[in-house]
Structure 1
Amino acid sequence: MKYLLSNLKIDINDKIYLKDPQSSDLGKRIIEHSIKLIDEIGFDSFTFKKLGIIIGSNESSIYRYFEGKHKLLLYLTSWYWAWLEYQLVFSTTNILNPNEKLEKAIDILTRTIESDSSFAHIDEVVLNRVIINEYSKSYLTKEVDEENKDGYFAIYKRLVSRLHDMIIDVNSDYKFPNSLASTVLEGALHQHFLKDHFKSLTDCDNVVQPSDYFKHLVFNALDIKK
């Protein structure tokens, strides 16, 4: 799959950025080091000035790509969900059995992320930590409805829709497919966070993975025996 992904360009809503960071070496360095810096100090402490010092570029040059750090976070989260969507599609497209397809999908969407060499300027393992810790800050804003209308969350919503369709294929009578699909995506981030920071609040650990929990949850909700 990595050879297929290496030929793909992740497409992000062009309203999120002023200049496509994938179009230049500087843009790619902005993305690469913003991920590392947010992971290191957190999004609240992250600034373009601090990023500029690390990449050896003026703060103003970063503003030529993004109007502010909120838009940068939207870009990073959109990229992550698009990358995960490609993984989901390539991993499930040839699976004909609906139960097996759904099980594989849950594995892809909830597993511990491993490094993918297809995109040299992005460390997916580090980006995954950023998403776990910071994703909610991309939409818990007063502007969320307007940004939703502008399509900023389209990739995430499309990913939920794909999982929704797989749930329906397994049990077309299930009444809450959208709720279950979004619960899996949001819940996976939460369980990984709990596993790392609040171990007493989750049954997931180094042996029991979030994917084990969500497969149990989903197939029991759908009343499917495995």
Structure 2
Amino acid sequence: MPTTENPWLKRLPILVIAAVAVLGAFLLRDQFSFDSLARHRESLLAFRDGNFAFASLVFVATYMVIVAFSLPGATIATLTGGFLFGLFPGVFYNVGAATLGAVAIFLAARAGFGADVAARIAEKGGAAARLQQGLRDNEWSALLIMRLVPVVPFFIANLLPAFVGASLMRFAVTTFFGIIPGGLVFTSVGAGLGEVFARGETPDLSIIFAPHIIGPILGLAALSALPVLLKRFKREA
């Protein structure tokens, strides 16, 4: 006998993610903070020194869960990666874990609602359909710019591509390479937290907006937009 798949089974992962994200916003907002990292720094260093490989695995898994469930503390996790593992391999742990977590929520959103939303937008037509088609025609550039210039919150940038039918491969690749510049900056800040702790200060995260840092990032974003502009000029010509 033919069987029909229960649509709620497909939606269960993204519904669980949404529920955990809401609970985490209330229950964990004070757990993943700079003060918490400062209080537990000695025990974290001892754990890392006792078993580096296992500590690396636990850190990557924890960071991935934070991103996949949109829990508070991603910035603190990035600083922790630099503090515990240095700029290298800390930046690889941070970027890799963030990418895996982003892919997880992208897949959950696409399976649960994304495919249906994308199909309805295409069928309905209008401005939303034109925007969807424009994003599809320029997926590499659009997705990379979204990561390089994070004016869109990270968790929304994980959901939006699923709702417009973006390619998984392109989403994963642009996420990995697009968050490397910011990841390098915050991981390097984390790598210098030992001195910050010794002075009893807090790290200056506004460094990301320093001209010598934000300038090259915006330059990469402009370079990513170049194919879109060239396509437009060709059509107009």
TM-score in terms of structure 2 length: 0.31
Q: Whose helix proportion is higher, 1 or 2?
A: 2
Larger Rg, first or second structure (1 or 2)? 2
